[in-house]
A and B are shown apart, each in its own frame.
Chain A
């Protein structure tokens, strides 16, 4: 992977705050919140077409609750993406962790907390091994994680070829407990987005991570410990995959070794679509949140109109291309170079 080409000068993170408050221009707002705007338009359109089905609190509660797991997986992908690596193993790690919880808690009725400790330990180990291969040995993150992710999904099948159900009652009840209208699992994701947003947006660590992702060599010359930050990001991504597994087991109350393969592409799509908003041109927790729920809004709206199956897949793909295209077009029209995020 090549370093950033045509990168805009200077900025490696969210816009620096100036001492004097200056209201953002419409151009900036358009670039940062374009996808949000389109999301709102979608809601208006579907709401106008199917008001009694779409514009209900229950509908929005279900939409937001159902994507919590996918959002966490997308964020797991984003943390490595920000520091310039592709981590395609998040789905594979998620798969192993999920079946481990299934076997320990659903099959063998072991206290779920012990199961959580085990999956966190497994993910930590996996993250460390991958960090060694990618950072220390210098192997391509795309290739390594593609290979390990595939291998992990196979291991998950090896652990159990069948889906298991029967999660501990308290565990399942906690994850699905309605809090202010949304399930606890959703609020956990919101908290995660908030924490990551703060770290990446308002801390020196976050700025350094963006710097590393933008240009490793310059970051190294600036005295940043690039290897440590990259390794930390890869390990964090694996740990977040464990988090996704813990959420899933509680939300679905089932452990299915096949489910992870259905989450990889949507997770990556959400992360990449998230680069077109909030912090245009770079991956971000907020952008990923918006992108994930924008896509599910379209899905659900089409379903309620009677369009399902291939139409939804077409929407998914077209929305991804269109959002990236509009964002790049708008950036180009403003005279700035399109800062296409390319991990190294």
Chain B
């Protein structure tokens, strides 16, 4: 039971409160340091000044791009035709798990493609991307004498020890969804990766930016929320920023909001959107993956910024396509037919197995979904149907000498 504190007690109390006071001083000092450093915290800002807007010729170019991208994609061969016969009975291995719609669609495409040439495919991986398990799965595949390995959105360096075993056994490896199309890097080649099957990530960012430029007349103050350091994210973000620099360097700007993968990803997404919504000059947010928009929408609503800020992204996940169709802040979602990507990965695999040159670009299409064409898309149907009726399966079979 406490009595009125005397001088001695007051002195003891003051001493005991010193840690709290010290802690507060440390925080205050930290705050001063942060203020001194805060001007360097954000990278990639470009100035938004001047009044020059996009030229008529540039607008015309943008409109043509958008019109082509909104339409139903057509199939294009990634390389010359070849004979994919004599492969029946061989086995392939896909490192990945059907843990989401994207992976399921890709696995379906790969399975269909290999089946067309009489090959079987086994699928295994770690839903939580546990590297040791992934390496173990590759080892098991090598032991099972598979003929080719496909990595589903896995950076080869992360499973290097497994790939070294595969290379020693002469098993070619195909990487997928690692940045923009191209041949594997020298580092990946050293691990036995012979080809890359992916869609043009930067094209998705470019199309989204072009849409926004057309809508605003080239007056954009945007935030790009990305996972810096991840090749797909870097490529997608670069598509957006390069388009702004190309078409409206004086009247368009962007700032980078970097998010890290981990336990706080959702909170970082939310806080990034919240801060962007508080800035009355921001009129567009470009998250590199469309699932991020789910966590941004409530922040925009709470900040009454839903009408001011457009959300644009890529991936064309069902939930975000539904948001687009409902007239929310989601205005653009650039998609890619993932099942088709699976066939493209098989094309690379078959080229490697038959000893023909692999393709540097499988010419995989993207389609821009926006407020104009979303009504024509049946969201209740299989996502593969959103990309139209191109019979890519028959086209690939013809390319492989089967049709």
CB proximity of A264 to chain B, nearest CB, Å: 7
Determine whether the beta carbon of A26 is less than 8 Å from that of B28: no
Segment among A57-65, A121-129, A281-289 that sits at the interface with chain B: A57-65
Contact B298 A308 (CB under 8 A): no
Task: Check if A305 sits within 8 Å of B100, measured CB to CB.
Answer: no
CB distance from A60 to the nearest CB of B (A): 10
In the complex, what residues of A have CB within 8 A of residue B267's CB?
Answer: 70, 262, 266, 296, 299, 312
Which of A41, A164, A312, A326 is the one whose CB lies under 8 Å from B19?
A: A326
- In the complex formed, the residue of A with least CB distance to B276 is A303
Q: Are A303 and B295 in contact (CB under 8 A)?
A: no
Select which of A26, A45, A259, A262 is within 8 A of B263 by beta carbon: A262
CB pair B268–A308 under 8 Å, yes or no, is yes
Let me know if B274 and A34 touch, CB within 8 A: no
Query: Smallest CB-CB separation from A333: which chain B residue?
Result: B16
Look across to chain B and name the residue whose beta carbon is closest to the beta carbon of A254. Answer: B294
Contacts A27-B13, A165-B322, A251-B298; is A309 near B268 (CB within 8 Å)?
Answer: yes
State whether A312 touches B268 (Cβ < 8 A).
yes
Selected contact of B20 from candidates A37, A59, A296, CB within 8 Å: A37
Give residues 16-42 of B contacting A (CB, 8 Å): 16-17, 19-20, 23-24, 27-28, 31, 34-35, 38-42
Q: Are A312 and B16 in contact (CB under 8 A)?
A: no
Which of B40, B104, B278 is in CB contact (< 8 Å) with A59?
A: B278
The yes or no answer to A25 lying at the interface (CB within 8 A) is: yes
Residue A191 is within 8 A (CB to CB) of chain B in the complex: no
Number of A-B contacts (CB under 8 A): 191
Q: Are A309 and B260 in contact (CB under 8 A)?
A: yes
The answer to whether B291 touches A163 (Cβ under 8 A) is yes
Q: Which residues of B contact A12 (CB under 8 A)?
A: none
Q: Which of A1-51 contact B (CB under 8 A)?
A: 18, 22-27, 30, 34, 37-38, 41-42, 45-46, 48-49
> Taking CB as reference atom, which chain B residue is nearest A300?
B271
A176 contacts chain B at the CB level, 8 A cutoff: yes
Q: Are A37 and B24 in contact (CB under 8 A)?
A: yes
Nearest Cβ in chain A — how far from B368, in angstroms?
20
The interface-forming segment of B48-56, B204-212, B301-309 is B301-309
Compute how far the CA of A299 lies from the CA of B100 in the bound complex, rounded to whole angstroms.
Answer: 29
Contact string against A for B residues 4-19, beta-carbon threshold 8 Å, 1 for contact and 0 otherwise: 0100000001011101
Residue-wise, chain B 312-337 has the 8 Å CB interface mask toward A (1 for contact) of 00000111101100100000000000
Indicate whether A62 sits within 8 Å of B263 (C-beta atoms), given known contacts A157-B99, A164-B319, A322-B23: no
Determine whether B376 belongs to the interface, using a CB cutoff of 8 Å to chain A: no
When the two chains form their complex, are residues A305 and B41 in contact, meaning their CB atoms are under 8 A apart? yes
A265 vs B318: C-alpha distance when bound (angstroms): 28
Bits for A310-325, please: 1 = Cβ < 8 Å to B, else 0: 1111001000001000
Any A CB within 8 A of the CB of B341:
no
Q: Which of A52-76 contact B (CB under 8 A)?
A: 53, 56, 58-59, 61-63, 65-66, 70
Given contacts A305-B34, A305-B38, contact A53 B278 (CB under 8 A): yes
Smallest beta-carbon distance A309→chain B, Å: 4
| Docked CA distance A61–B278 (Å) | 11
Cβ distance A66 to chain B, nearest Cβ, rounded Å? 5
* Cross-chain contact of A25 among B2, B260, B274 (Cβ < 8 A): B2
In whole angstroms, what is the CA distance A165 to B278 when docked?
25
B359 in contact (CB, < 8 A): no
State in angstroms the CA–CA spacing of A56 and B15 once bound together. Answer: 37
Indicate if B69 sits at the interface (CB-CB under 8 A): no
Of A30, A63, A304, A309, most buried by chain B (CB within 10 Å of CB) is A309
A166 with B326: CB separation less than 8 A? yes
Given A252-B297, A262-B263, A308-B258, also A300-B274 (CB < 8 A)? yes
Residue of A nearest to B299 (CB): A62
Complex Cα distance, B369 from A201, in Å, reads 54
The CA-CA distance from A42 to B320 in the complex, in Å, is: 36
> Could you tell me the dominant secondary structure of chain B's interface residues?
helix
Contact A183 B266 (CB under 8 A): no
Given contacts A49-B34, A252-B294, A266-B264, contact A162 B275 (CB under 8 A): no
Choice from B27, B34, B271 contacting A312 with Cβ under 8 Å: B271
Residue of A nearest to B100 (CB): A161
Closest Cβ of chain B to A85, distance in Å, is 22
> Can you name the residue of chain A whose Cβ is closest to the Cβ of B256?
A308
Q: In the complex, A334 Cα to B17 Cα: how many Å?
A: 9
Instruction: From B3, B24, B278, name the one whose CB has the most chain A CB atoms within 10 angstroms.
Output: B278
Q: How far is the CB of B137 from chain A (nearest CB, A)?
A: 18
Question: CA A251 – CA B5 in complex, angstroms?
Answer: 50
Cα-based distance from A300 to B267 in the complex (angstroms): 9
Verify if B279 is at the interface (C-beta below 8 Å from A).
Answer: yes
Knowing A161-B100, A161-B104, A164-B319 are in contact, say whether A49-B35 is a contact too (CB < 8 A). yes
Task: Say yes or no: B291 contacts A303, CB within 8 Å.
Answer: no
Tell me the A182-230 residues at the B interface (CB within 8 Å): 183
Please give, as numbers and ranges, the residues of chain B lying within 8 Å of A251 by CB-CB distance. Answer: 298
> Which residues on the A side are within 8 Å of B17 (C-beta)?
26-27, 30
By a CB distance below 8 angstroms, the chain A residues around B3 are 22
Residues of B within 8 A of A46 (CB): 31
Interface residues of A (CB under 8 A from B): 18, 22-27, 30, 34, 37-38, 41-42, 45-46, 48-49, 53, 56, 58-59, 61-63, 65-66, 70, 154, 157, 161-166, 176, 183, 251-254, 256, 258-259, 262-266, 296, 299-300, 302-313, 316, 322, 326, 329-330, 333-334
B-side residues, CB < 8 A to A, are 1-3, 5, 13, 15-17, 19-20, 23-24, 27-28, 31, 34-35, 38-42, 98-101, 103-104, 127, 228, 257-260, 262-268, 270-272, 274-275, 277-279, 291, 294-295, 297-299, 301-304, 317-320, 322-323, 326
With A262-B264, A308-B271 known, 13 other A-B pairs at CB within 8 A are A26-B13, A53-B278, A58-B304, A70-B267, A157-B99, A163-B294, A163-B318, A263-B266, A299-B267, A304-B275, A309-B228, A309-B258, A330-B20
5 A–B contacts from the bound complex (CB under 8 Å): A45-B27, A183-B302, A253-B298, A266-B263, A326-B23
